[in-house]
């Protein structure tokens, strides 16, 4: 008898019951939302090959200690903290990387200059790598500040953040922070000799910077909108609509479509198939919540075995739009 191949939603094995291992799988294979002009020669996304998971992501996930992950995962309810914690596990458990430090505070006298998200090294090369990460879910505004491809037209569901602000902060502050004299002094004294690399070269000459910004860009359902400048060709996409427009959007969907309500911090991987229910049975509570604050759901077409992400936002959304940097 031929084995049944597990169905994959957004590339993740839908038969996985543990939300954290699904999120780890999603994180490992999800591309960045945009490609930033690299301020350093080796800026860019980590690959499965670099992690040592090119041929064995599922096998590696199967070998993780799920009870420990689940216990730690309950401590991180905020999306950003949870996302960083996933990266800690990924870098410290993957075959070819080891996590050296995270949230390294850099100070000048008594003033805090910032924190380095993570330092890691590859097993086949000891020099440290400074990694900054961000998980972002941005909704596109067809009428907004700047040109039609401006990063300022892509804002977070809460209306306080924008792709433009995040990219500027990463490029102008977070990534360069590790090259400051204060950061190099902290790292030189804090890291073990094996983690500093060949002693004949100063740390500043060895340290490389990396950036990972996976997420989803949600396009308006009712009008065409181009991607933001620099968007990766394979970035994950969704749609968004005002709650008052839901009936019109729903009329375009097949009757068999099912939905699952995504709750933070598990906005990353799709839920297992049994979490999807007929849309008609969940809409009353969902729409009531969407009148108050944006709600992310996932639609599933069982005939096409395809999913789509959707944000439903209050009719008054956005109440505010961040100014361009």
pLDDT digits (tens, 9 = 90+) for 276-293: 998 776 778 888 999 999
Is the pLDDT score of 142 beyond 90?
Answer: yes
Residues 12, 142, single domain; the answer is yes
pLDDT digits (tens, 9 = 90+) for 202-259: 776 678 889 999 999 999 999 999 999 999 999 999 999 999 999 999 999 998 999 9
In the numeric block, which tokens belong to residue 282?
């969940």
Residues 173, 70, single domain; the answer is yes
Q: How confident is the model at residue 130, as a pLDDT?
A: 92
pLDDT digits (tens, 9 = 90+) for 53-80: 987 899 999 888 765 655 554 555 688 9
Q: How confident is the model at residue 208, as a pLDDT?
A: 85
Residues 146, 20, single domain; the answer is yes
Residues 185, 264, single domain; the answer is no
Residue 52 lies in a domain: yes
**Spatial separation of the C-alpha atoms in residues 292 and 258, rounded to whole Å:** 23
Confidence of residue 2 (pLDDT cuts 50, 70, 90): very low
Number of domains present in the structure of the chain? 2
In the numeric block, which tokens belong to residue 12?
């993740």
Report residue 323 CA to chain centroid gap: 23
Q: In the predicted model, what is the mean pLDDT of residues 106-131?
A: 89
Residues 98, 22, single domain; the answer is yes
Residue with tokens 């990063």: 151
Long-range CB pairs of 112-120 (<8 Å, 24+ gap) are 113/177, 113/180, 113/182, 113/183, 114/173, 114/174, 114/177, 116/177, 116/178, 116/183, 117/84, 117/87, 117/174, 118/84, 118/87, 118/88, 118/91, 119/187, 119/191, 120/91
Sign of CA dihedral 119, 137, 307, 67: positive
**Spatial separation of the C-alpha atoms in residues 257 and 251, rounded to whole Å:** 11
Please report the DSSP string for 220-231 in residue order: ESSS--PPPTTB
Q: Give the residue numbers spanning the domain of 35.
A: 8-216
In the numeric block, which tokens belong to residue 243?
């709650």
pLDDT digits (tens, 9 = 90+) for 255-267: 899 999 999 899 9
Q: How confident is the model at residue 228, as a pLDDT?
A: 97
Is the pLDDT score of 171 beyond 80?
Answer: yes
**Spatial separation of the C-alpha atoms in residues 189 and 65, rounded to whole Å:** 33
Confidence of residue 41 (pLDDT cuts 50, 70, 90): low
């Amino acid at each position: 008898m031929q084995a049944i191949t597990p169905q994959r939603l957004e590339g993740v094995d839908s038969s996985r019951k543990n939300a954290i291992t699904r999120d780890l799988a999603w994180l490992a294979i999800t591309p960045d939302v945009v490609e930033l002009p690299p301020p350093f020669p080796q800026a860019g996304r980590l690959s499965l090959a670099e992690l040592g998971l090119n041929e064995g992501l599922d096998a590696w996930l199967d070998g993780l200690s799920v009870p420990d992950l689940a216990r730690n995962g309950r401590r991180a309810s905020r999306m950003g903290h949870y996302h960083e914690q996933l990266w800690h596990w990924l870098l410290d458990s993957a075959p070819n990387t080891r996590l050296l430090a995270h949230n390294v505070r850099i100070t000048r006298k008594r003033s805090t200059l910032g924190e380095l998200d993570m330092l890691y090294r590859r097993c086949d090369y000891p020099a440290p790598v400074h990694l900054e990460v961000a998980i972002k879910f941005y909704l596109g505004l067809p009428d907004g500040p700047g040109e039609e491809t401006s990063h300022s037209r892509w804002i977070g569901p809460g209306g306080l953040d924008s792709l433009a602000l995040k990219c500027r902060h990463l490029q102008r502050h977070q990534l360069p922070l590790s090259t400051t004299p204060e950061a190099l002094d902290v790292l030189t004294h804090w890291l073990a000799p094996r983690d500093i690399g060949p002693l004949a070269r100063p740390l500043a000459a060895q340290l490389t910077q990396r950036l990972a910004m996976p997420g989803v860009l949600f396009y308006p359902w009712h009008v065409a909108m181009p991607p933001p400048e620099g968007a990766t060709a394979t970035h994950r996409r969704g749609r968004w609509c005002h709650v008052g427009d839901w009936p019109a959007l729903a009329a375009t969907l097949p009757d068999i479509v099912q939905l699952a309500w995504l709750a933070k911090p598990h906005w990353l991987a799709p839920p297992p198939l049994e979490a999807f229910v007929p849309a008609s049975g969940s809409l009353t509570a969902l729409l009531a919540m969407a009148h108050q604050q944006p709600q992310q759901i996932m639609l599933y077409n069982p005939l096409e075995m395809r999913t789509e992400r959707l944000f439903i936002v209050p009719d008054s959304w956005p109440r505010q739009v961040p100014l361009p940097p």
